[in-house]
Amino acid sequence: MSLLEFENVNGFYGNSHVLFDLDMTVEQNEVVALLGRNGAGKTTTFRAITGTIPRREGRIEYRGESIARKSVEAISNSGIKLVPEERRIFPTLTVQENLVVARDAASGTPRDIEEMYEIFSVLDDLRENRGQNLSGGEQQMLSIARALVQNPDLLLLDEPTEGLAPVIVEDLTEILEDIVSRDVTVIIAEQNVEFALSLSERAYIIESGENAWDGTIEELRDREDLLEQYLSVGVASD
């Protein structure tokens, strides 16, 4: 049984049909890249998983149980946490207060806040800094830490490198490798292809809300034509 299964999933915003018979599987403790141009349907796919898209059809199962008709709160409480592109930290709260609020909102047993400072060492010296005074990279670290402290089984990262300097992206890569080693399954929706592929085992390419390709990272690196066609980029070989 896969951790997450999509089969013939269709999504709608009002009368607009935005996801078309989407299929996807994610295994326990796997890292999967969700690739596509801006507007291809990556964020909408995450909304279908978390229940925030107004209307969705098809089979969506998490741990073998259908979540297609569950509420946003019920899906979140089941162990699926989204780190949105907008980050959505509390700007007037300190780093510590942001983590305490997230920890106290956990539906199950949360992770220890000190573990978050161990993983996100850059935040350790910023405990009393307000969210609005953090750099973009620090805010992204805090956003991920807020989700992780709630002890999710499945972590959805929506464009985590957006707007970040290359050196911060390198730090984030190491942090996510650490997170994965702690038995967290991750789906990364990214336009930074090298970042996504460096962390992932398999990839899905989405184009206009449809499956365009899926396979292993090794297979994708041998098919640069796919990334040139769907993302207009090349990929460095290992």
Cα–Cα distance measured from residue 33 to residue 30, given in angstroms and rounded to the nearest whole number: 10
Phi and psi, residue 80, nearest 5°? -105, 120
Number of domains composing the chain: 2
Domain containing residue 202: 1-79+154-165+182-238
Are 47 and 108 part of one and the same domain? no
pTM of the full structure? 0.94
Are 69 and 7 part of one and the same domain? yes
4-43: pLDDT as tens digits: 999 999 999 999 999 999 999 999 999 999 999 999 999 9
Are 145 and 51 part of one and the same domain? no
Element (H, E) at 204: strand 202-207
132-179: pLDDT as tens digits: 999 999 999 999 999 999 999 999 999 999 999 999 999 999 999 999
Of 46, 68, 67, the closest CA to residue 56 belongs to 68
For residue 230, tell me if it sits in a domain. yes
- CA dist 196 to 18, 144, 162, 219, 234, Å? 24, 16, 12, 15, 13
The angle at the Cα of 53, spanning 17 to 92, to the nearest 5 degrees, equals 140
Contact 61, 55 (CB under 8 A): no
Are 73 and 93 part of one and the same domain? no
